[in-house]
Amino acid sequence: MHSQPSLAVVVEDPARLDNPILDTFLDYWNSRRGTRPMPSRADIHPADLKTHLGWLCFIEALPGNEDFRFRLIGSRVAEYFLSEATGLTVREAYAAAGASEEETHAVLWILRRTSAARHPMRVTGDSGDWRGRPYPDYDALYLPLSEDGTKVNMVMCGFTFNYRAYRNTRAVMTKRG
């Protein structure tokens, strides 16, 4: 079953966000990059973000940005998508989830755009259905990382959603089950 497409809004290089978790990630990313266009993966220490690790993903850019590989997926993100895709490419993970080609291309587009622009990208989306289940609105921040300060080789993504609404929806689905 394919999911119902939702509307997404993309904001390039946001200065401030109205999401405390994403603000934490943006502030951290800015502090780690200093005067450089972007920090490297080695500059990012997940222990510094311990209270928000469940919302965090690291996604490696593959040659030519043809695809991207999930290197770390936070527990809340994995729970939201009903899968643990660490080690899989975006194409593999979305194919395994039964996502449409359009959905897969939308995710690849934002990763490619983040890599090309070399600055943060915020994506917010409406609630909808994923894998036959309702999901709350989401809010994500894509932050480029670079080993050489020029070419993006990884994207750090903070992906948030209304966790209470999500848990309530899951409880209702389980009771209907």
Domain boundaries, the chain: 8-176
How does residue 6 score in pLDDT terms, banded at 50, 70 and 90? low
CA–CA separation, 85 and 77 (whole Å): 10
Closest CA to 127 of 1, 7, 2: 7
Superfamily, domain 8-176: PAS domain (3.30.450.20)
Q: Which two tokens stand for residue 6?
A: 């939702």
How does residue 175 score in pLDDT terms, banded at 50, 70 and 90? very low
- This prediction's pTM: 0.85
User: What digits encode the pLDDT tens for the residues 34-56?
Assistant: 999 999 999 999 899 999 998 89
